């Protein structure tokens, strides 16, 4: 660990649980999942029925028609989350600061909706032309580009795509840029809108989606539930944030990465152990200072047992004192947005001294023998927390956060 | 019918793992043949296509040997045209 301390001074989120931080926190606090039957054409042809969809989201409430035309849903969600984060931070983005502001966004699949609709025209309706906006709407960096234009931010901006770890990698990279002085502000997070028929069929084929709901760490878990949404964090040096009297949500303290070099879909415990250890080391945090882990916790048999093993291997006896919950049980698995959504959940847990539960929990599994905070949020004053993301392809990214009372 | 079906299943198993057909028998366990969970999922995909059946996810989880697969596919093929879709565990 070296360089400047970094504060999170703005949060923004939109997902199945709600369209702003306060709504999402309301649901997390009550352990209220937003998993419901999928609403889309062709849903009856899918083997699974339920997803965590942002049903209440109405693009017209946020953008005029011309902008909507230029933006896939995943980019719209990213901009809405960025707006909330900037607003919450109270930061004045002067021309000089805008040049020193970085944007790093994560997305696994980019503008799926757009691509799917275009291919339907091409293959199914035998049209010979794709819409000219297909490429700018589909590209995975569209979210970063739209955020930069929205706020006229002219510093470094890029997108990271590492499947389910995308936005943890994005936040981690942005954090390091601010810590090392390469940027003075960063907007970082991720967004995903994966509900295109083609992509859902592809997930169906992998046989990892639950037929009912998402029950992480529960004996009778049957798979993940796909989700959508976006979340953004505004990061800035702690000293500067204190000097301008900003409200500080938490300190972004450490970031760790690793790869399993093992299998494209089967998890390993070793890679996650190394990523969590790297995050602790990066943040100068002792394992005993961690009180809460927002788990990757997808709800598949393999992930949850492997993640439990990884946590036990790294933390030893302290694992028994950790609170470990999977908020995917409520907001679903939002793929490239998962890390960012869960970073928001983790920060809110630290700030409010209340750990959101693992919802839908029915029965303990000896292979997941951690305190998974079943079904009810638990009051706990926690000093530091980890937020885990472990992607298909074996790419792991872990954020370490510290509670700061401003 | 079952012999013919077994034959096709054995061929599919060999083809998915790119191993010689003669190395696969109904007694073979998928683990011995080097199948992991992703290979097994690909095999189910090939069998669903070939036999026009829907193999439930719970069915996939319970198969250990080639004989288990033959039994599962025979059962589903007998109740054709199409088994109701049911999903579950990977």
Contact A301 B89 (CB under 8 A): yes
- CATH code of residue B27: 1.10.1200.10
pLDDT score at A406:
56
Interatomic CA distance for residues B73 and B18, integer angstroms: 21
- CATH topology for the A255-402 domain: Peroxisomal Thiolase; Chain A, domain 1 (3.40.47)
Greater model confidence, A317 or B77? A317
Residue B90 resides in a domain:
no
Q: Tell me whether the CATH fold assigned to A6-243 matches the one assigned to A255-402.
A: yes
Q: Is B45 on the interface with A (CB under 8 A)?
A: yes
Residue B60 banded pLDDT, cuts 50, 70, 90: confident
pLDDT score at A91:
98
Residue B88 resides in a domain:
no
List the domain range (segments joined by +) for residue B26. Answer: 2-78
Q: Indicate whether B86 pLDDT > 60.
A: no
Q: Indicate whether A108 pLDDT > 70.
A: yes
Number of domains comprising chain B: 1
Residue B73 banded pLDDT, cuts 50, 70, 90: very high
Contact B12, B46 (CB under 8 A): yes
pLDDT score at A1:
58
Segments in A207-332 forming alpha helices (H)? 238-243, 270-283, 301-315, 328-331
Backbone angles phi, psi at B41, to 5 degrees: -65, -40
**Distance (Å) from the C-alpha of residue A47 to the closest C-alpha of chain B?**
6
pTM for the structure as a whole = 0.95
* pLDDT tens, position by position, A149-195: 999 999 999 999 999 999 999 999 999 999 999 999 999 999 999 99
A164, A345, A368, A384: the catalytic one is A164
pLDDT score at B81:
58
Residue B89 banded pLDDT, cuts 50, 70, 90: very low
pLDDT score at B48:
94
Question: Which of the residue ranges A78-82, A214-218, B20-24, B61-65 would you say has the lowest mean pLDDT?
Answer: B61-65
Told to judge if A333 belongs to the known catalytic residues of this protein, a careful annotator would answer yes
User: What ipTM was estimated for this complex?
Assistant: 0.83
Residue B33 resides in a domain:
yes
Backbone angles phi, psi at A241, to 5 degrees: -65, -40
- Within 207-266 of A, beta carbons closer than 8 Å to B belong to 207-211, 222-223, 263-266
Interatomic CA distance for residues B16 and B37, integer angstroms: 12
Q: How many CB atoms lie within 10 A of CB A78?
A: 38
Domain ranges of chain A: 6-243, 255-402
* pLDDT tens, position by position, A356-397: 999 999 999 999 999 999 999 999 999 999 999 999 999 999
Please state at what angle helix A166-179 crosses helix A338-352, rounded to 10 degrees.
Answer: 60
* CATH of region A6-243, choose from 3.40.50.620, 3.40.50.1970, 3.40.47.10, 3.30.9.10: 3.40.47.10
A333, A345, A368, A384: the catalytic one is A333
Residue B70 resides in a domain:
yes
Residue B29 resides in a domain:
yes
């Amino acid at each position: 660990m070296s360089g400047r301390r970094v504060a999170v001074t703005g949060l923004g989120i939109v997902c199945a649980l709600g369209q702003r931080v306060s709504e999402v926190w309301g649901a997390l606090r009550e352990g209220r999942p937003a998993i419901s039957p999928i609403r889309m054409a062709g849903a009856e042809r899918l083997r699974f029925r339920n997803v965590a969809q942002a049903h209440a989201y109405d693009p017209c409430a946020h953008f005029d028609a011309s902008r909507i035309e230029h933006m896939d849903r995943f980019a719209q969600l990213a901009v809405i989350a960025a707006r909330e984060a900037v607003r919450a931070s109270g930061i004045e983005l002067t021309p000089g600061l805008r040049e020193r502001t970085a944007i790093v966004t994560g997305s696994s699949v980019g503008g799926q909706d757009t691509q799917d609709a275009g291919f339907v025209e091409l293959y199914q309706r035998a049209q010979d032309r794709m819409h000219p906006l297909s490429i700018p709407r589909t590209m995975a960096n569209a979210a970063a580009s739209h955020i930069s234009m929205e706020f006229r931010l002219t510093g470094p901006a890029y997108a990271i795509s590492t499947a389910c770890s995308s936005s943890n990698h994005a936040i981690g990279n942005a954090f390091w840029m601010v810590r090392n002085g390469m940027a003075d502000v960063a907007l970082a997070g991720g967004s995903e809108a994966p509900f295109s028929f083609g992509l859902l069929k592809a997930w169906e084929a992998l046989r990892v989606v639950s037929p009912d709901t998402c029950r992480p760490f529960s004996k009778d878990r049957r798979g993940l539930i796909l989700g959508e949404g976006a979340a953004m964090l505004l990061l800035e040096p702690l000293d500067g944030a204190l000097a301008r009297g900003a409200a500080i949500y938490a300190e972004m303290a450490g970031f760790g990465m690793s790869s399993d070099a093992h299998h494209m879909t089967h998890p390993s415990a070793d890679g996650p152990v190394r990523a969590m250890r790297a995050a602790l080391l990066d943040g100068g945090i002792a394992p005993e200072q961690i009180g809460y882990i927002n788990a990757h916790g997808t709800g598949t048999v393999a992930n949850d047992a492997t993640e439990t093993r990884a946590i036990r291997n790294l933390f030893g006896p302290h694992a028994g004192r950790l609170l470990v919950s999977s908020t995917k049980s409520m907001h679903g698995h939002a793929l490239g947005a998962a890390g960012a959504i869960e970073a928001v959940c983790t920060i809110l847990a630290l700030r409010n001294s209340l750990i959101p539960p693992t919802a839908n929990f029915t029965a303990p599994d000896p292979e997941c023998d951690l305190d998974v905070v079943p079904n009810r949020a638990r009051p706990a004053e926690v000093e530091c927390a980890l937020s885990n993301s472990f992607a298909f392809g074996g790419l792991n990214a872990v954020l370490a956060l510290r509670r700061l009372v401003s | 019918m079952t012999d013919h079906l077994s034959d096709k299943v054995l061929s599919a198993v060999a083809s998915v793992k790119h191993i010689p057909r003669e190395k696969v028998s109904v007694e073979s366990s998928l683990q011995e043949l080097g199948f992991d969970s992703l290979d097994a999922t690909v095999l189910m995909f090939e069998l669903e296509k070939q036999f026009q059946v829907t193999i439930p996810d719970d069915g996939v989880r319970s198969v250990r040997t080639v004989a288990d697969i033959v039994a599962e596919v025979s059962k589903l093929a007998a109740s054709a045209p199409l088994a109701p879709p049911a999903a579950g565990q990977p």
